[in-house]
């Protein structure tokens, strides 16, 4: 890619001016259907000029060529000189090496199921090797399953203690998921789990360990048997590894059908992304609205509001996807991007979120863009609960969109019996600005297919935004830097010599923490 800065593209001035002028309350219904999902963009700024300028920006960024590189397995991750070909993992007829690995994994699952082995699964991994599995297990494994599953991600020993507590070591499978097989948290936690098996006199502890990694040779060094090492490839970014053999834990603890359903929903979204006209392309349009919100209107955060308690892990999952991918401020040439890039992403399922921070969304001076996500149908037997959930979702959104003028609030106060003077004062507190940017994504129901499509929708949206800003969404040098410093400080805390110097505060705390008898 040879980007000029986004602001020097010919279409930028028109795009930026049109975005500022576009009416947030344009009163037009704007729906896009994509892979079974309905995306309602009626709550975003819109005008025909803005829409056209967005398409022009994409053309000036050679978007279709860049999309072809991504989906064709070309070098999309240029700072690490590799592809970002997670879409290949979900193709029904994938390349032979992917098909062969899928078959090996399925054979392991079939054998384990037939033998009714592994009452407990302990999944050890972090970031992309963890959140996607937590997300799917919470979404589909919330009713009783015969296998229990625990997750250990954090280096905090309390997480290890909680993860292993009360399990039967003789019938526990330890799944170690790490693309690099170098992540300190994962390796340390895996060592504790193996010690736990050994301490319980398990006959051959390593026979109860599975490794899923892009570095099988590293897992081998641990003594994990070949037949229990499942690989994925360097061209799968860590935050996309949900689509790889890392899904073993979901297959064993919920079902293989869940994994298959998610893959096919994501593949359907890939197809939509590849073939739908850009004006009706869900990830593309979401990305353009994100660009308006962040880079023109200066809205610094994106709130995710899934109205579905089963999607409690969707927020951290998408936080990693969005913030690890778009938390960059230089473009692929190393030049500073002249506009704000990836927003802060945060959120919580509704209706809990309404009683936590929605006040801020409604009436703070900043506000955020909000993505509401809801399923049309529920999988429980209490229709009135689902109606309330749907009503709350629509109501919050309407309040943000429509707002309430001071005059309306004044009338409301009068009708409630307040004296005019008090009504005038109260009305100021009850005014809602309105016109707050939001999208609504409706899933027919929370099936594996639709969750797969939803995740792929966000993946592709993130990619399009990176193309527009001219940044590489597939590296994470900031995280790597922190990892290196943590390794050095750990060594110092263990009294190993270290040539590094620190700032006075870090030096002070290293000395304080060293003095503690751990």
Give the per-residue contact string, 142-181, with ligand F6P (x = CB under 6 A; - = no): ------------------------------------xxx-
Closest separation between CB of residue 324 and ligand F6P, Å? 6
Contact present, 459 and 390 (Cβ < 8 Å): no
Regarding 112 and contact with ligand F6P (CB under 6 A), the answer is no
Closest separation between CB of residue 187 and ligand F6P, Å? 9
| b (16+ CB within 10 A) / e for 183-214 | bebbbebbebbbebbeeeebeebbebbbbbbb
Instruction: Please pick, among 324, 328, 362, 459, the residue that the annotation labels catalytic.
Output: 324
- What is the edge-to-edge ordering of all strands in the sheet holding 301-307? 31-34, 37-40, 438-443, 369-375, 301-307, 344-347
Question: Any catalytic annotation for residue 217?
Answer: no
Quickly count: other Cβ atoms within 10 Å of residue 125's Cβ: 30
Paired tokens of 442: 């409706």
Q: How many residues does the chain have?
A: 518
Question: Any catalytic annotation for residue 324?
Answer: yes
Q: Which is nearer to ligand F6P, 18 or 89 (CB)?
A: 89
| Binding test (CB under 6 A) with ligand F6P, winner from 186, 264, 325, 354 | 186
Regarding 183 and contact with ligand F6P (CB under 6 A), the answer is yes
**How far apart, in Å, are the Cα atoms of 462 and each of 45, 343, 345, 355?**
19, 11, 12, 29
Question: Any catalytic annotation for residue 274?
Answer: no
Using alpha carbons only, what angle is made at residue 226 by residues 130 and 487, rounded to the nearest 5 degrees? 45
Closest separation between CB of residue 93 and ligand F6P, Å? 27
Contacting ligand F6P within 329-388 (CB under 6 A)? none
| Binding test (CB under 6 A) with ligand F6P, winner from 61, 82, 90, 239 | 239
Regarding 476 and contact with ligand F6P (CB under 6 A), the answer is yes
Q: Which is nearer to ligand F6P, 66 or 129 (CB)?
A: 129
| Binding test (CB under 6 A) with ligand F6P, winner from 54, 169, 238, 452 | 238
Closest separation between CB of residue 180 and ligand F6P, Å? 3
CA-closest candidate to residue 217, choices 261, 182, 172, 191: 182
Q: Could you give the CA distance from residue 87 to residue 109 in angstroms, rounded to a whole number? A: 23
Count of chain residues binding ligand F6P (CB under 6 A):
14
| Binding test (CB under 6 A) with ligand F6P, winner from 43, 128, 343, 473 | 128
Quickly count: other Cβ atoms within 10 Å of residue 449's Cβ: 24
Instruction: Please pick, among 161, 221, 355, 429, the residue that the annotation labels catalytic.
Output: 355
Paired tokens of 209: 């360990």
Q: Which is nearer to ligand F6P, 185 or 308 (CB)?
A: 185
Measured over the CA atoms of residue 318, residue 466, residue 372 and residue 267, the dihedral's sign is: negative
Which residues are annotated as catalytic? 324, 355, 483
Binding site for ligand F6P (CB under 6 A): 126-129, 178-180, 183, 186, 238-239, 324, 476, 479
């Amino acid at each position: 890619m040879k980007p000029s800065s986004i602001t020097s593209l010919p279409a930028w001035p028109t795009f930026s001016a049109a975005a500022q002028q576009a009416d947030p309350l344009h009163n037009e219904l704007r729906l896009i259907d994509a892979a079974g999902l309905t995306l309602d963009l009626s709550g975003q700024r819109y005008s025909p000029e803005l829409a056209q300028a967005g398409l022009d920006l994409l053309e000036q960024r050679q978007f279709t060529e860049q999309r072809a590189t991504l989906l064709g397995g070309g070098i999309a991750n240029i700072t690490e000189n590799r592809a970002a070909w997670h879409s290949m993992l979900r193709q029904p007829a994938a390349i032979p090496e992917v098909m062969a690995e899928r078959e090996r994994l399925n054979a392991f699952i079939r054998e384990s199921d037939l033998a009714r082995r592994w009452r407990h699964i302990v999944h050890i991994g972090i970031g992309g090797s963890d959140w996607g599995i937590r997300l799917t297990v919470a979404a589909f494994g919330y009713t009783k399953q015969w296998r229990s599953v625990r997750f250990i991600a954090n280096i905090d020993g309390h997480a290890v203690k909680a993860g292993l507590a009360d399990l039967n070591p003789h019938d526990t499978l330890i799944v170690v998921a790490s693309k690099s097989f170098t992540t300190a948290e994962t390796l340390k936690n895996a060592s504790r789990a193996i010690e736990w098996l050994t301490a319980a006199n398990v006959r051959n502890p390593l026979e109860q360990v599975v490794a899923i990694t892009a570095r099988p040779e590293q897992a081998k060094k641990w003594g994990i048997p070949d037949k229990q090492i499942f690989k994925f490839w360097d061209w799968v970014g860590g935050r996309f590894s949900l689509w790889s053999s890392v899904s073993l834990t979901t297959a064993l603890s919920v079902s293989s059908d869940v994994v298959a359903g998610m893959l096919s929903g994501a593949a359907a979204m890939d197809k939509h992304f590849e073939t739908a006209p850009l004006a009706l392309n869900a990830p593309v349009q979401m990305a353009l609205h994100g660009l308006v919100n962040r880079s023109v209107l200066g809205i610094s955060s994106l709130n995710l509001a899934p109205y579905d308690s089963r999607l409690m892990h969707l927020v951290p999952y998408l936080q990693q996807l969005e913030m690890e991918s778009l938390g960059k401020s230089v473009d692929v040439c190393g030049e500073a991007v002249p506009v704000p890039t990836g927003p802060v992403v945060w959120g919580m399922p509704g209706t809990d979120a309404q009683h936590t921070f929605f006040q801020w969304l409604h009436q703070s001076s900043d506000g955020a863009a909000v993505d509401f996500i809801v399923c049309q149908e529920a999988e429980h037997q209490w229709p009135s609960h689902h109606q309330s959930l749907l009503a709350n979702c629509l109501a919050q959104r309407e309040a943000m969109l429509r707002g309430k003028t001071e005059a309306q609030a004044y009338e409301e106060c009068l009708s409630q019996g307040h004296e005019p003077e008090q009504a005038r004062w109260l009305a100021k507190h009850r005014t809602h600005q309105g016109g707050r940017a939001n999208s609504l994504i409706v899933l027919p129901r929370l099936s594996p297919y639709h969750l797969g499509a939803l995740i792929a929708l966000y993946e592709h949206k993130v990619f399009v935004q990176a193309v527009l800003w001219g940044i590489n969404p597939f590296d994470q040098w900031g995280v790597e830097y922190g990892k290196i410093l943590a390794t050095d400080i750990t060594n110092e805390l263990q009294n190993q010599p270290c040539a590094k110097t620190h700032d006075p505060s870090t030096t002070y705390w290293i000395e304080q923490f060293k003095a503690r008898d751990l």
